[in-house]
Amino acid sequence: MTKAEVIREAAAGTKLKLEAVTLREIRMPLVHFFETSFGRTLSRRILLMTAHCEGVDGWAECVAAEEPSYSSEWIETAWATLQHHLIPAVLGQTFSSAGECVSSMHRIRGHRMAKAAVENALWDAEAKERKQPLWKLLGGCRRQIECGVSIGIQDSVEQLLEKIETELASGYRRIKLKVKPGWDLRILERVRSRWPEILLSCDANSAYRLDEIEHLRAFDNFNLLMIEQPLWNDDLYYHARLQAKLRTAICLDESIRHARDAAIAIESGACRIINIKVGRVGGFTEAKKIHDLCAARDIPVWCGGMLESGIGRAHNVALSTLPNFTLPGDVSASKRYWKEDIVEPEVEVTGGGTIAIRDEPGTGYRIRKDLIDQLTVRKETIRSRQ
């Protein structure tokens, strides 16, 4: 280092030397099963990543699921890609900010959920090192965020109505229903006639095809805030064709992998709303890029969820404080998913359907290390030899 560099670094005050990384898999059964158009989840296998940076530990959750259904990534590809490619690309390096690791991982194609685990753990470490709340470091501006819920496909309509009633009574500000052929118009009709005024949306997770366009047009009858990802998970073009024929706004989730996808989706009219999931897009840097691009084009965004434990959930809370997160997200209370969460306090929602933002350094949610140890089924620490 030159003298000027030493002085500059001392002035900046932050240095993250990534000395070691710990990967773990924990098992956590869900309080209730969660069913989408692609299947039912009863229990989660969750990959946690810890970035050890000279006395400061940053934590993140990799949102890759148990099966490659929502995306092509799943826990085993994420673990292997982290172990063999991503961790070697960043280990032993010194970063002056978390976002710098993105270029180190650039030559590895795809595997965005795995990349997000690395980057987000470093963001957590950076926030702790700077003694700043993560939400501020990300550029957030809100002191509370608005919460919605995503309600899976149920065994009966009665069960669904009961669930909605419970969530509305808890204060949630938007109800999103998972739909698929055979569980769509009939339930939307029942829900809308019972609650004519609520903010209501639906998510098809790619369950429809373009030849079902007349069927999809019937969704216009229910005054929905949006219909999320009706067509193929990797499509933009046909969503544009569909959006031109619908009154209801299309929101894209799966199809938006990065800011360029978001730009093309907006320019081509494939959607009017975008769901940002930090794991899906490869980390906070890309999530912020999409956020900024949407803000500049007057496209509202909201924060999606992936049945996260408290660690991923806390990151979603922080991200949701950015100014263009103007619609209620799928960020809800820990207790909807877990008997006991791995952070303290658990993520809690007020009677008004909001989460209050915490001001401690990092996420503001402490890691329950003992509980994590109890839930761990596999663990590996990889150290730098430098």
For Mg ion, the closer CB: 252 or 317: 252
Stretch that binds ligand OSB, among 153-161, 163-171, 298-306, 356-364 (CB under 6 A): 298-306
Distances (CA, A) of 377 to 23, 26, 27, 61, 206: 11, 6, 7, 15, 33
Residue 336's Cα: distance from chain center in Å? 16
Angle in degrees, CA 22, 27, 29, rounded to 5: 150
Task: Indicate which single residue of 124, 184, 253, 286 sits in contact with Mg ion (rule: CB under 5 A).
Answer: 253
Closest approach of Cβ 374 to Mg ion, in Å?
31
**3-class DSSP state of 43:** strand
From 53-61, 122-130, 134-142, 303-311, span contacting ligand OSB (CB under 6 A): 303-311
Query: Site for ligand OSB (CB under 6 A): which residue of 119, 124, 126, 253?
Result: 253
- The residue among 36 and 248 lying less far from ligand OSB, judged by its C-beta, is 36
- What would the two tokens of residue 164 be? 């909605």
Of the two residues 25 and 330, which places its CB atom closer to ligand OSB in the complex?
A: 330
Choosing from 277, 289, 335, 339, which is the catalytic residue? Answer: 277
CB of 203 to ligand OSB, least distance (A): 5
The minimum distance between CB 125 and Mg ion, in angstroms, equals: 29
Q: Can you tell me whether residue 56 is helix, strand or coil?
A: strand
Q: In whole angstroms, what is the distance from residue 32 CA to residue 28 CA?
A: 12
SS (H, E, C) 2-33: CHHHHHHHHHHCCCEECCEEEEEEEEEEEEEE
State the binding partner of 305 from ligand OSB, Mg ion, none, CB within 5 to 8 A by kind: ligand OSB
Its sign, for the CA torsion 104, 135, 353, 174, is negative
Residue 304 found at the interface with ligand OSB (CB under 6 A): yes
Of 307 and 322, nearer to ligand OSB (C-beta) is 307
Q: How far is CA 58 from the centre of its chain?
A: 18
Query: Considering only residues 211-230, where is the footprint of ligand OSB by CB under 6 A?
Result: none
User: Please, which residue, 52 or 277, has the CB nearer to Mg ion?
Assistant: 277
Tell me if 235 contacts ligand OSB by CB under 6 A: no
Q: Taking CB within 5 to 8 Å according to partner kind, which of Mg ion, ligand OSB, none is near residue 328? A: none
Tokens of 113: 């959920």
Closest-CA residue to 309 (of 28, 25, 24, 65): 28
Does 71 engage in binding with ligand OSB (CB under 6 A)?
no
Task: Map residues 294-323 to x or -, x wherever contact with Mg ion holds by CB under 5 A.
Answer: ------------------------------
H or E element at residue 276: strand 273-276
* 163 given a catalytic annotation: no
Catalytic residue check, 339: no
Measured between alpha carbons, how far is 121 from 314 in angstroms, rounded to an integer?
Answer: 12
Distance CA 282, CA 263 (A): 17
Task: Give dist(CA 235, CA 361) in Å, integer.
Answer: 40
Give the active site residues: 178, 277
Residues found near ligand OSB in the complex (CB under 6 A): 36, 70, 150, 203, 205, 253, 304-307, 330, 332
